[in-house]
């Protein structure tokens, strides 16, 4: 962050002083001899330019206009350019008047040739602008476009930076997927769960053959989804819920007297997209810490809803939150995947929602139109 701030100020100061040098060069070529007020006026222009373009940048960030800016928001940028160009002209002209840095015989702006300004004066004098200060209008015409140039460079810089970061994130995501490829089943489908599920199925073979066959199908679905999780980047909530239900059905065989499952799903969220096995990871974590480490009954509740422009997914379990839960491999990989896939637009929280209830909350951008 500090490195980016330093680079910004280096570019900001260097850019405006380069503009000043260009003014000096062209003024000297055209005028040959510069007046004593030329350099103080130019210094005022440079200092004002640095300050006001910095405020312009702050305004763009405040209004969420940092590039890449959606096309329907561009009009706000143009309004800001006009606003700050006008403010620059007013302040520049006011300071020139305040410090008496004007020459009635050769009243060019920042070293502009007198014959050029005189021509502008003749043109403007023919307009009905009696209430408009001509010095401000001169400044707006001659120095105002620099704000458009500044914003263009600023936007271009961030577009290049955004493109590069997208490529870097893509490489990082591919690397993480490769690193997690051999850990997928271990991290998202605990081997102990598989052994326990097989033992439960074996007990059902004689007692309830039909349920045993169904349990084998459920386990097969879970293992297939886990193996394929590294091959797809996105799935729908409907498909993810199918896997979660298979998982909970198998766990119910073991914890039938203690496990209570509840769903609060808005139908409109079923087609929304999310990373594969992410909800499964949260449910497995809830089972592990809710049933595995807490005595008594455990309620697992899955909530899915839309809230403004976010898809909210929550997995709640009976129990108390401890520090080890926040540092688990599954939850850490969840945070990393969200950060890369949604570029900081997703939110993940694990907190004590009630005295005896732990909540894992996931908020991701909505990928479908609300119904």
Element (H, E) at 46: helix 38-62
347: in domain: yes
> Quick one: pLDDT at residue 127?
39
Q: At what angle do helices 237-254 and 191-207 cross, to 10 degrees?
A: 60
Q: Are residues 147 and 65 in the same domain?
A: yes
> Quick one: pLDDT at residue 291?
78
Per-residue b/e over 304-326, b at no fewer than 16 CB within 10 Å? bebeeebbbbbbbbbbebeeebe
pLDDT band at 371 (very low <50, low <70, confident <90, very high): very low
The total number of residues written for the chain in this structure: 371
Q: Are residues 297 and 148 in the same domain?
A: no
Beta bridge partners of 316: 301, 359
Q: Are residues 206 and 351 in the same domain?
A: yes
Cβ-contact 302, 263 below 8 angstroms: yes
Contacts of 267 (CB under 8 A, 6+ apart): 371
Q: Are residues 159 and 189 in the same domain?
A: no
Among 236, 333, 338, residue whose Cα is nearest residue 284: 333
Residues spanned by the domain of 235: 182-365
Alpha helices in 132-190 (DSSP H): 134-143, 145-181, 184-188
Among 293, 286, 273, residue whose Cα is nearest residue 232: 273
Judged against a pLDDT cut of 60, whether residue 49 lies above it is answered with yes
Q: Are residues 268 and 351 in the same domain?
A: yes
> Quick one: pLDDT at residue 263?
94
Dihedral sign for Cα atoms in the order 63, 67, 73, 79: positive
Among 162, 147, 148, 134, residue whose Cα is nearest residue 67: 162
Q: How is residue 151 written in tokens?
A: 């914003």
pLDDT tens, residue by residue, 252-265: 888 877 888 999 99
Q: Are residues 339 and 221 in the same domain?
A: yes
pLDDT tens, residue by residue, 114-153: 444 444 444 444 433 333 356 566 666 666 688 888 888 8
Give the percent of the chain with pLDDT over 70: 72
pLDDT band at 95 (very low <50, low <70, confident <90, very high): confident
Q: Which of 164, 195, 229 is the last residue of a domain?
A: 164
Contacts of 88 (CB under 8 A, 6+ apart): 48, 49, 52, 139, 143, 144, 147
pLDDT band at 107 (very low <50, low <70, confident <90, very high): very low
139: in domain: yes
Among 94, 99, 120, residue whose Cα is nearest residue 36: 99
pLDDT tens, residue by residue, 263-275: 999 999 999 998 8
Contacts of 169 (CB under 8 A, 6+ apart): 340, 343
What distances in angstroms separate CA 164 from CA 2, 168, 344, one per listed residue?
19, 6, 16
Q: Are residues 228 and 96 in the same domain?
A: no
Cβ-contact 358, 323 below 8 angstroms: no
pLDDT tens, residue by residue, 208-217: 888 888 888 8
* Rounded-to-integer distance, Cα 94 and Cα 41, Å: 11
Q: How is residue 199 written in tokens?
A: 């033992």
pLDDT band at 1 (very low <50, low <70, confident <90, very high): low
Q: Which of 164, 194, 210 is the last residue of a domain?
A: 164
Q: Are residues 160 and 263 in the same domain?
A: no
175: in domain: no
240: in domain: yes
177: in domain: no
Cβ-contact 270, 236 below 8 angstroms: yes
Q: With H, G, I as helix, E, B as strand and everything else as coil, classify residue 182.
A: coil
* Rounded-to-integer distance, Cα 292 and Cα 79, Å: 59
371: in domain: no
> Quick one: pLDDT at residue 325?
62
Q: How many domains does the chain have?
A: 2
pTM flag (> 0.85) = no
CATH, residue 212:
3.30.565.10
171: in domain: no
Q: Are residues 16 and 158 in the same domain?
A: yes
Q: Are residues 102 and 229 in the same domain?
A: no
Q: How is residue 143 written in tokens?
A: 């120095």
- Measured in whole angstroms, how far is the alpha carbon of residue 293 from the centre of its chain? 37
> Quick one: pLDDT at residue 124?
42
> Quick one: pLDDT at residue 292?
67
174: in domain: no
Q: Are residues 208 and 282 in the same domain?
A: yes
Q: Are residues 312 and 187 in the same domain?
A: yes
DSSP E strand boundaries for the chain:
235-236, 259-265, 273-274, 298-307, 310-318, 347-354, 357-365
């Amino acid at each position: 962050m500090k490195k980016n701030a330093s680079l910004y100020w280096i570019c900001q100061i260097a850019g405006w002083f380069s503009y000043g040098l260009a003014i000096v060069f062209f003024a000297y070529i055209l005028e040959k001899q510069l007046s004593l007020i030329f350099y103080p006026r130019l210094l005022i222009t440079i200092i004002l330019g640095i300050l006001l373009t910095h405020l312009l940048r702050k305004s763009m960030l405040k209004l969420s206009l940092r590039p890449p800016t959606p096309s329907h928001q561009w009009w706000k940028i143009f309004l800001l350019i006009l606003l700050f160009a006008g403010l620059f002209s007013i302040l520049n002209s006011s300071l020139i008047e305040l410090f008496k840095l004007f020459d009635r015989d050769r009243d060019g702006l920042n070293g502009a040739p007198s014959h050029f300004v005189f021509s502008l004066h003749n043109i403007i004098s023919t307009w009905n602008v009696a209430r408009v200060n001509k010095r401000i209008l001169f400044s707006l015409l001659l120095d105002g476009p620099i704000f458009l140039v500044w914003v263009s460079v600023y936007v271009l810089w961030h577009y290049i930076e955004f493109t590069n970061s997208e490529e870097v994130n893509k490489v990082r995501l591919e690397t993480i997927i490769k690193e997690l490829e051999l850990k997928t089943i271990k991290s998202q489908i605990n081997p102990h769960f598989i052994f326990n599920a097989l033992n439960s199925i074996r007990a059902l073979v004689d007692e309830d053959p039909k349920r045993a066959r169904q349990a084998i199908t459920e386990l097969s679905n879970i293992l297939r989804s886990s193996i394929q999780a590294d091959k797809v980047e996105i799935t729908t909530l409907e498909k993810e819920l199918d896997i979660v239900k298979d998982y909970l059905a198998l766990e119910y065989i073991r914890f039938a007297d203690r496990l209570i499952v509840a769903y609060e799903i808005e139908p409109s969220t079923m087609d929304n997209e999310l990373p594969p096995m992410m909800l499964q990871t949260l449910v497995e974590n809830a089972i592990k810490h809710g049933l595995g480490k807490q005595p008594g009954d455990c309620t697992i509740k899955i909530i899915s809803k839309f809230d403004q422009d976010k898809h909210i997914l929550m997995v709640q379990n009976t129990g108390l939150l401890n520090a080890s839960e926040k540092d688990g491999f599954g939850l850490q990989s969840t945070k990393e995947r969200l950060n890369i896939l949604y570029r900081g637009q997703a939110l993940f929280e694990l907190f004590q929602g009630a005295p005896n209830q732990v909540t894992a909350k996931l908020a991701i951008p909505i990928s479908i139109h609300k119904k």
